[in-house]
Structure 1
């Protein structure tokens, strides 16, 4: 109650204070660019630290000003600073419009004393232009323009980034999950998948994102367990006095919505499943909560809901407290129909069909809830303390229905039988992120920044169900098939990972903070990560499977307590561990801990107005311990064993920038990094899918990475960019996922398979084709943007490794697309507060390696396809707006094929075209 009284008093005092103060508003325009709005210029009351920045339309507003005479100071990088007197009257709003023009001063001569939000393309381009290191980012404004829904999709709009179809993994310059690193506000995040290093970026909805930065060049303050890129999500904070926004959207897919659909029995429509652990304590008791049969119905339209609320309370002229809260819910129905064809071997130039040929139907339902809260306390622009809490709950349910033939069923022309494999998978994630961040300016030349985080992730795969049947079309019957142990099984997997991380930096400027020749930074980063993962299979073994007939729409009539009692089938836990108490069944598991301590020194020096150098040294100590208990072993290791990796590194980084003139930068960077094996890549835990299995390799060792890049940047104006860059990487003792020879159709593990090289070139452009101010009320703009990446990757096999028989002497890297193009064209028309934006977005990734083959199996290749999206939005006024988007307009066929002359297709399907429309209202 006492806290409520304090908050109420503060709000009441703030309201009363507003009645005795005045405000000033206005618009800033750019004289040198046809009086376009000038975004992100600084506006301050001279002699104070009270200020703001202009928005994308050049508009600004300063509130709660004391009555009397003041001087407004307007400044922007490269523009003449203007000072204009204004008289503030209590309860009234003054209007001051300003036309800004370019200055002859250098970039370093302009003092910026207010905080700029990194949401707009213009602000991020300015940040990129001023930075010493090579960096790229995409902000909230561009995410909205291109209908990007989450951080994962955002990265795909950045030069040199692509991903595997149907996977959450992204690849940066040809390097995948193990070679990248993900942070939120500069602090590490746990993984939500036992098979991945990085968290699924699609968990972070665009409603919480201010920007997503992709750092492909390295600096000493970053984690060095990276060779592709460090991806940093910057979360939003409230910068307005008051904010309230609510949005709702609905969507449909041409091959899914309102059509027949199957869902797993378990989680509800909201995506909540409380039964994530099994209850089996006795194999003679059938204690499963969920039905074996899928539920049948119709696919409803997709739904999206979001609410944003923010408030800023002024405690004094120089201090304030701001609050920001955002909540959202999204769901999505997806149906795919296609084919999964044979696995083939190459033997004396003959194609041997040793696999299976299936027609496939995949039903997928996902639901995600997200809640983020932020509170920030700012004192006179010199000190800031903020706390972020993020909770994400996601649930994805997938049913894969495969009907076809195998090597022993349905091959002969007179065999009218089919194999039916039904796999039901559910993944549930609960992510908790807590961050405390502090920035402090001490005097005129020292900054002290600190941050601390605690994160936890719960990843559950509850009751994955697999069934295998034989359909006899001659007799119109379906019976149980039991050729392998896992043909009819239920699986439970649970992962818990928590992470504590902290960082501290002390910055000494060589001169006063805003007029200096450089700076020296001393810093520390540390983290402790614990992961526990366990999984157990319950295999159903039938006494007489050939005579056990089933109703495929009512599987519970077969899988039940009565049939278990009558010995129609028995339950085994062949991959579980039996304890001394035969009534208790323990899962296979691994337990891992990773500790990192790093110290660095980073120096940046401006030799003159044109040349700046940044050099850093990072020392890291990494310890990783993994202990496992399974019923399988790896050469040299038992099924119950442990391993410890302990390495120390001294890692240099270098970034150089030469400013040819106000519009042209030349850059160079180089650095040494490393890649540690991940928990799941080492632990010999076997993860099984419908037609593959994957297990770790305890013999893995870290890789050493050498990185270099050169780049040319041209900024024709504040919102335009043309850049050309070349890069190269050498990865010694690289780690790769490999396909090996096995009785299982597709059996994967990991190996230090040899040295890898990556060479490439990137071209990026953002240009204004039309920018016209028709009059004071009307304007129109036509912009185009795009980026192209050309890349050559090569993995030279280490043929001394006798565990694998490599096909050929080398291969392209997994997931590396030799050619990628992103392009967009956008038209914006504005009349007063009304605004219309239309954008066409195109993406193409050429054929790339999906999986590296060994033991006489050629690589599996993912075929390149073109993707085309259309986005339309209209703002009726400052409160009401609508948005429409249509994605995958071309609806191409996604295919994977074995890389042989015949290019035998292995998988093929279509996504369908998705359309959605939404409306939002804000105050």
Structure 2
């Protein structure tokens, strides 16, 4: 509470602003030289100090122009000056003026081509799109992301009302609904998951350099995939909007818990995060031929580093036709360290394992995106997008403490040491071909094709278990379970093919009509192959196998293997050298989705608009597995098919009380399909838990409804209140089951779930001033809050689990969430200064649902406070300073009993970074 009060005080006492401006771009043509580009012509906004000159290609850009009507003057030595009157500059939009110039004959205004396009990255443009849309939606653009120091798409979503993120994970929860209830698209096309356990791709892979905006649709229309109950998150990639761009950025960051301190790294991993040895080559279990050692390396953590390069160019092919390309490349790394506790507390006086924990994490990511856009004319556009993301996450978890069978007596001075070293490498390739066409004034045809592939590798995950005897100061091998000392190799490969096609018929002309009717098709084919194999190190006499924690490879080596100190056994349960020994545990899966829809928007009156849609979907999914475990009713070598057909209606209503106030309502039916790994009975083992799938899972049916009030006082201001409700029949949940393993998890249709809540959002200007010499001072504030009630009613007929009580809140659903930001902005000519304070608070929420007569585990509320400072010295040089997690709160989880026994506790440290950008 003390952190919350301090944070709120700081927010109230600090001010901020983000003001949208427009720009003028275009090309100047030399009529004296057969319409060649005219370089070094002067372009000036009359009555201001804003101006520029054209480049060698005759291209120019004047940015950061205040909204209004201006006269734009074009001049060149020896040529007739040209004045273009009544040029309207709109917030968040770019006005294009292409001008021919001549020496003496002058020119007529009808030779000038003036067009205006929306900037999809600005706050005002996105608010305008939200205001005009029939469906309920929201988005956050690149401009706002920069103001709030957002580094990736995962953090971007948490700035939107009703969205929060689980601590220590990039998984987001929308209105209390987690990964399996959401969907992710990139430019409207679906993306595969990079993790075998997740439905959606890790949003933190998408850095803000490639993001134009992130749209979140929390109500549904027939054109969206219906395998969703929380939200569809659509990442829109950047394109060239100016004549040219060359930008270089470099940043460095300091963390109070890691930088210049001792840090443990995995042997075999590297700083750049590239591992080419992702598969094992073991073919002889009597030969110890692993390429990496068990002993972690210790060095000093360097400051975090970020480097990015943006380059783009637009070419004028003709008066109406342009070709542009945009390239982005970046590298980022991050060190983090957590020092805390982990306990499996059941009740007062009843605690299982108790550990002091140290977690060392190192992340390195590389990204390359390029797009090519051919704008044939105002009616036809083709674009190709390619995205490559390479991420590498390295983690060492070092736990020391007691378990139920070691170190429990008062006279027992022994401790258990668990060491888990994990490296996960992802390579994502995305290719998209998009086309947009307008035929006449009444028909649009849009088509898009996508092919994506993901490689997810977990090479040589190493686990060790030791017993430390403090009485005689010795450490020996512990082997209470098969996997206590093991290596694991896991590899996932997935292909994803997708297509969207739609035809739009306007009921009237395109910009003046009574509505439109859309016929469309969405298709997606996904196939996945996953395999994993364990190499267990089984010691013949673990009680006499002593080890040196600083030199584990003195124990795990060829000599001790040859002498019979330990033997190697695969997850097939064999230690001989027949061919079947090296067959991995695996599952193959494929899913085919074909959908057709019809969607109609009709303006019943000037104020009332209705959107009615119906979607027919056919889903066929097969999962085939060959593992070393079985599930009741299924063998360890089997398969299952889930085939379903759906008819899904949707309704969106909008009533505009006036040009500033909207009333909205929506309702829809959707579904939630089980994910591949939730079905496959493959056991994934963590440091002190195990998780496996359930082939008996069935899809869930979702009923969604919402009403909303919106007020738009100005172009960049908003006040909104919404009430929503959801009913999920046969909901899927992650649950703990009866097992000899201390924490053994699986998935089940636990029962029906309901979600009800209210959302409030505001964006307001508090102060604007402008002096006679065009110095501007601006202050603004933004805030949103969600109040929510969730309930999971357990299925009483399900006897597979011993539920604690009859109901629970949903996992990850925070009853109260608030985001707030305040900013101050000053600009004069080419100089600009922005200071923003950004705050997030999530109340206590369920971390995992309790079963076996154990209460839920709760994640404690924490406040997060960030400070962002940026300054542009001129149009070339910019500087940014960020301070993140200023309050450095303790992240804690506790068992939901009156005593609230702490089960986990750690801090992330304060992060400070500085970045320099150069625009050429």
- TM-score if structure 1 supplies the norm length? 0.90
State the secondary structure of the residue aligned to 1:400.
Answer: strand
CA deviation vs aligned residue, 1:484-528 (integer Å, no higher than 9, x gap): 111101111111111000010100111111111111100000010
Q: 1:166 aligns with which of 162, 165, 168?
A: 168
CA contact (8 A) 2:285 2:575 kept: no
CA contact (8 A) 2:845 2:858 kept: yes
Q: Which residue of 2 aligns with 1:102?
A: none
Q: 2:697 aligns with which of 676, 700, 711?
A: 700
Deviation at 1:568, TM superposition (A): 0.5
Q: Which residue of 1 aligns with 2:312?
A: 310
State the secondary structure of the residue aligned to 2:657.
Answer: strand
- Unaligned stretches of 5+ residues in structure 2: 1-28, 51-58
* Alignment: residue pair count: 870
Deviation at 1:92, TM superposition (A): 15
State the secondary structure of the residue aligned to 1:643.
Answer: strand
State the secondary structure of the residue aligned to 1:804.
Answer: coil
Q: Which residue of 1 aligns with 2:844?
A: 847
1:603-752 matched pairs, under 5 angstroms: 603-752=600-749
Q: 2 CA distance for matches of 1:655 and 1:863?
A: 37
Deviation at 1:51, TM superposition (A): 13
Q: Which residue of 2 aligns with 1:456?
A: 453
Deviates more, 1:189-198 or 1:573-582: 573-582
Greater relative contact order (Cα 8 A, min sep 6): structure 1 or 2? 2
Q: Which residue of 2 aligns with 1:233?
A: 235
CA deviation vs aligned residue, 1:168-217 (integer Å, no higher than 9, x gap): 21000000000000000000000000000000000000000000000001
1:99-110 matched pairs, under 5 angstroms: none
Q: Which residue of 2 aligns with 1:566?
A: 563
Residues 582/51 of structure 1: CA separation in 2 closer, same or farther (3 Å cut)? closer
Residues 343/20 of structure 1: CA separation in 2 closer, same or farther (3 Å cut)? closer
- Unaligned stretches of 5+ residues in structure 1: 1-9, 30-36, 38-49, 97-111
Residues 783/287 of structure 1: CA separation in 2 closer, same or farther (3 Å cut)? same
Q: Which residue of 2 aligns with 1:105?
A: none
Q: 1 CA distance for matches of 2:245 and 2:658?
A: 41
Residues 705/62 of structure 1: CA separation in 2 closer, same or farther (3 Å cut)? farther
Residues 514/577 of structure 1: CA separation in 2 closer, same or farther (3 Å cut)? farther
Q: 2:250 aligns with which of 244, 248, 251?
A: 248
State the secondary structure of the residue aligned to 1:661.
Answer: coil
Q: 1:285 aligns with which of 279, 284, 287?
A: 287
Deviation at 1:637, TM superposition (A): 0.5
Deviation at 1:352, TM superposition (A): 2.4
Q: 1 CA distance for matches of 2:466 and 2:82?
A: 85
CA contact (8 A) 2:306 2:330 kept: yes
CA contact (8 A) 2:73 2:82 kept: no
Q: Which residue of 1 aligns with 2:299?
A: 297
1:6-21 matched pairs, under 5 angstroms: 17-19=36-38
- TM-score if structure 2 supplies the norm length? 0.91
Deviation at 1:582, TM superposition (A): 3.9
Q: Which residue of 2 aligns with 1:222?
A: 224
Residues 539/90 of structure 1: CA separation in 2 closer, same or farther (3 Å cut)? farther
CA deviation vs aligned residue, 1:645-679 (integer Å, no higher than 9, x gap): 01000100111111111111111111000000000
1:337-356 matched pairs, under 5 angstroms: 337-344=339-346, 351-353=349-351, 355-356=352-353
1:757-906 matched pairs, under 5 angstroms: 757-906=754-903
CA contact (8 A) 1:262 1:363 kept: yes
Residues 238/92 of structure 1: CA separation in 2 closer, same or farther (3 Å cut)? farther
Q: 2:45 aligns with which of 19, 26, 38?
A: 26
Deviates more, 1:260-269 or 1:389-398: 260-269
Q: 1 CA distance for matches of 2:75 and 2:388?
A: 35
1:43-192 matched pairs, under 5 angstroms: 57-58=66-67, 74-75=87-88, 88=101, 114-192=116-194
Deviates more, 1:850-859 or 1:320-329: 850-859
1:492 aligns with 2:489: yes
Q: Which residue of 2 aligns with 1:107?
A: none
Q: 1 CA distance for matches of 2:369 and 2:880?
A: 24
Q: Which residue of 1 aligns with 2:330?
A: 328
Deviation at 1:391, TM superposition (A): 0.3
Q: 2:438 aligns with which of 418, 438, 441?
A: 441
Q: 1 CA distance for matches of 2:168 and 2:214?
A: 22
Q: Which residue of 1 aligns with 2:364?
A: 367
Residues 638/442 of structure 1: CA separation in 2 closer, same or farther (3 Å cut)? same
Deviation at 1:888, TM superposition (A): 0.5
Q: 1 CA distance for matches of 2:105 and 2:43?
A: 8
CA contact (8 A) 1:72 1:85 kept: no
CA contact (8 A) 1:71 1:85 kept: no
Q: Which residue of 1 aligns with 2:401?
A: 404
CA deviation vs aligned residue, 1:872-917 (integer Å, no higher than 9, x gap): 0000001100000000010010011111111111110000000000
CA deviation vs aligned residue, 1:378-413 (integer Å, no higher than 9, x gap): 012111100000000000000011011111222222
Q: 1 CA distance for matches of 2:720 and 2:820?
A: 15
CA contact (8 A) 2:137 2:217 kept: yes
CA contact (8 A) 2:306 2:332 kept: yes
Residues 792/67 of structure 1: CA separation in 2 closer, same or farther (3 Å cut)? farther
1:272 aligns with 2:274: yes
CA deviation vs aligned residue, 1:576-615 (integer Å, no higher than 9, x gap): 7899944751110100000000000000011222111111
Q: 1:513 aligns with which of 510, 513, 532?
A: 510
